[in-house]
Amino acid sequence: MTDAVQVDDGATHALVLGLGCERGTAVEEVIALAEDALRAAGRDRCRLAVVASLDTRAEEPAMSATARHFAVPFRTFDAATLEAETPRLAHPSDTVFRHTGCHGVAEASALAAAGAAGRLLVPKMKSAHATAAIAEVFQAVAGDFSESESASASARPASLRTV
């Protein structure tokens, strides 16, 4: 199913949370880092539209748990899609590239989900085993979500409507 989130509130824009983590990272660590990133954005967490990451993290419990925590969909991108975001990254990493095939996960997934008109609002932040970044959305956030992801999307704030 294709689902798009349309921002319809004038000056305030929706946020995308990009996440990366080592395999087996504790749910609590990822959620705490996500909360820190949203505070750093200086924005109300109810503006969060989607959590995004690299497709190899699709089955990581901490990723889906973080999306559920914020009652938003979880979207993943392949390494080639994230690599295309490299020119827009604040902190590209050759080490990350060697491990994943893209120069960044948190920043790149936030930007990929935000679209071409989106901008990085909070560059990569790190915890012991995870990374987070926030992008601001200036257009619809579109993507293919599973039924469970679409179900969590129904809990989005009223200012974000599905089109």
pTM score: 0.79
Nearest-5° Cα angle at 79, 58 to 162 = 55
CA distance 40 to 123: 10
Which of 15-29, 97-111, 138-152 shows the lowest per-residue confidence on average (mean pLDDT)? 138-152
CB 20 within 8 A of CB 105: yes
Q: What is the DSSP letter of 97?
A: H
The pLDDT, as a whole number, for residue 102 is 97
CA 148 to mean position of chain CA atoms: 17
pLDDT range class, residue 104, cuts 50, 70, 90: very high
Helix (H) or strand (E) holding 62: helix 61-70
pLDDT, tens digit, 9 for 90 and up, residues 63-99: 999 999 999 999 999 999 999 999 999 999 999 999 9
Taking CA atoms, 112 is separated from 16, 76, 79, 128, in Å, by 9, 10, 11, 24
CA distance 147 to 159: 22
The arithmetic mean of pLDDT across residues 148-163, rounded, is 33
